[in-house]
Structure 1
Amino acid sequence: MPDTDDTLDEPAVAFATAKTAVAARLTDLAASSDVLQQEELRAYAGRGFAAGWRMPVEFSDGVRRIDLLLPAGFPWQPPRVALIDRPPFLSWPHIEHDGVLCLASDMLDVDPYDPAGVVTYMLGDAAKLIDRLIAGELITDFQDEFLSYWDHAADEGGPHFVSLLTAEPPTREVRVWRGKKFYILAETDAELERWLVNRFGKKPDGFKTDTAALLWLEAPPVPSDYPRSGQDLRRFAAAAGEDPGALLAKFVRPRPDRIVAALGFTTANGPALAGVIAPEPSAPRYGARDPLLKGFRPGTIPDSLLLARYLGNTNLIRRSIERADPDWIHGRGQDSRTAQLREKTVAVIGCGSVGAAIAVTLAQAGVGRLVLIDFDILKWSNIGRHVLGATYVGQPKSKALAEKLRSDFPHLYVTDFVCDADTAVRRHADVLASCDLVVSATGSWTADSRLDAWQETTARRIPIVYGWLEAHACAGHALLIGDAEGSLRHGFDRTGLPHFQVTVWPNGTPLRREPACGAAYQPYGPMELGFINSLIAELALDALLSATEPTHRIWVGPRKRLVQIGGGWSAVWREDSSFREEGGFILERPWPVADDSGKEAQAA
Structure 2
Amino acid sequence: MSEVSTENGTLKLNAAAREGGRWNLEICVPIPLTNMPKVFLANAEDGFGLAHVDHKGEVCYSDQEGESYDPTDLARVTAFAFQRACSVLEEASKKRSKRDFRALTDEFEGYWQSIPGCHRANLTAPPVSDRALYGQVNKDNRPGLGKVSLRLLALNYGSPKDQKAPNRKAHYFPLFSPILPPKNGQAISNEWLIYLIKEGGIEAQKESVKKGLHIFLFSQPRSEGLSLFGVLFETKILGKNKKEFRSITPFTVQRCWRDYLLERTGQISARHHVAVIGCGAVGGRVAEHLAMSGVDELTLVDDDVFTYDNIYRHVLGEGSAGTNKSKALRRYLSSKCPGLKITAEPVSAETWLSRTTQVNNCDTLVLTTGKPGLERHINREAFANRWPHRLISGWLEPLGLGGHVMVSQYGQAGCLECLYSDWGGSDPSMRVSFLKPGQSVSRNITGCGGRFMPYSSIHAARTALLICEAALGQKSGYSCWAGDASSSRSEGLELTSWYERCREGKPSGDVAHEACPCCSS
User: What's the TM-score, normalizing by structure 1?
Assistant: 0.70
**1:109-135 deviations in whole A, cap 9, x for unaligned?**
102354433333233223323434454
The match for 2:480 is 554
Alignment of 1:194-593 (within 5 A): 212-217=171-176, 219=178, 221-224=180-183, 231-238=194-201, 244=202, 260-277=215-232, 279=234, 281-284=235-238, 317-332=249-264, 335=267, 338-339=268-269, 341=270, 343-426=271-354, 428-456=355-383, 461-482=388-409, 484-485=411-412, 487-492=415-420, 493=422, 497=428, 499-505=430-436, 508-542=439-473, 547=474, 550-559=476-485, 563-564=489-490, 566-567=492-493, 569-572=495-498, 574=500, 579=501, 581-582=503-504, 587=507, 590-593=510-513
Alpha-carbon contact 2:429-2:437 (below 8 Å) kept = no
Q: More strand by proportion, 1 or 2?
A: 2
Mean alpha-carbon deviation: is it higher for 206-215 or for 396-405? Answer: 206-215
**Structure 1 contact 67–81 (Cα < 8 Å) conserved:** yes
What secondary structure does 1:404 align onto? Answer: helix
Aligned residues: 495
Question: Counterpart of 2:114 in 1: which secondary structure?
Answer: helix
Aligned pair in 2 of structure 1 residues 451, 277: CA closer, same or farther (>3 Å)? farther
Aligned in 2, Cα 1:391/1:151: closer, same or farther, shift over 3 Å?
same
Is 2:50–2:89's contact at 8 Å kept on the other side of the alignment? no
Match of 1:79 in 2: 37
Contact preservation (8 Å) 2:383, 2:518: no
CA contact (8 A) 2:408 2:477 kept: yes
How well do the aligned residues superpose, as a CA RMSD in angstroms?
4.0
Deviation of 1:460 after TM superposition, in Å, equals 5.5
Aligned-pair CA distance for 1:589: 5.7
SS in 2 for 1:387: coil
Give the TM-score normalised by structure 2: 0.80
Q: Quick one: distance in 2 between partners of 1:478 and 1:272?
A: 44
Q: Which blocks of at least 5 consecutive residues in structure 1 are unaligned?
A: 1-32, 42-47, 239-243, 295-308
Provide closer, same or farther for how the CA distance between residues 173 and 212 of structure 1 changes in structure 2, counting only shifts above 3 A.
farther
* Structure 2 residues not aligned, in runs of 5+: 138-151
SS in 1 for 2:174: strand
Distance 2:417 2:433 in 1: 18
Residues 470 and 476 in structure 2, CA contact (< 8 A), matched pair in contact too = no
Give the direction of change, closer, same or farther, for the CA distance of 1:248–1:84 in structure 2 (3 Å limit): closer
- Kept in 2, the 8 Å contact 1:445–1:496? The answer is no
Cα offset, 1:528, TM superposition: 2.1
Change (3 A) 1:185 1:333: farther
- Match for 1:172 among 124, 129, 133? 129
Q: Is 2:64 aligned against 1:144? A: no
Closer/same/farther in 2, CA of residues 530 and 154 from structure 1, 3 Å limit: same
Task: Show CA shifts across 1:291-332 (max 9, x none).
Answer: 7xx9xxxxxxxxxxxxxx99x867764310111111111123
* Pairing 1:161–2:118 present: no
Are the counterparts in 2 of residues 52 and 67 from structure 1 also a CA contact under 8 Å? yes
Equivalent position amino acid for 2:457 in 1? P
Going from structure 1 to structure 2, the CA distance change for 1:252 and 1:352 (only over 3 Å counts) comes to same
State whether structure 2 residue 71 is matched by structure 1 residue 112: yes
1:154–1:320 Cα contact (<8 Å) kept: no
- Matched-pair contact (CA < 8 Å) for 2:297–2:341: yes
SS of residue in 2 equivalent to 1:555: strand
Q: Distance in 2 between matches of 1:182 and 1:156?
A: 12
- The answer (yes or no) to whether the contact 1:559–1:582 under 8 Å persists in 2 is no
Q: Structure 2: how far apart are the matches of 1:207 and 1:373? A: 40
1:304 matched residue in structure 2: none
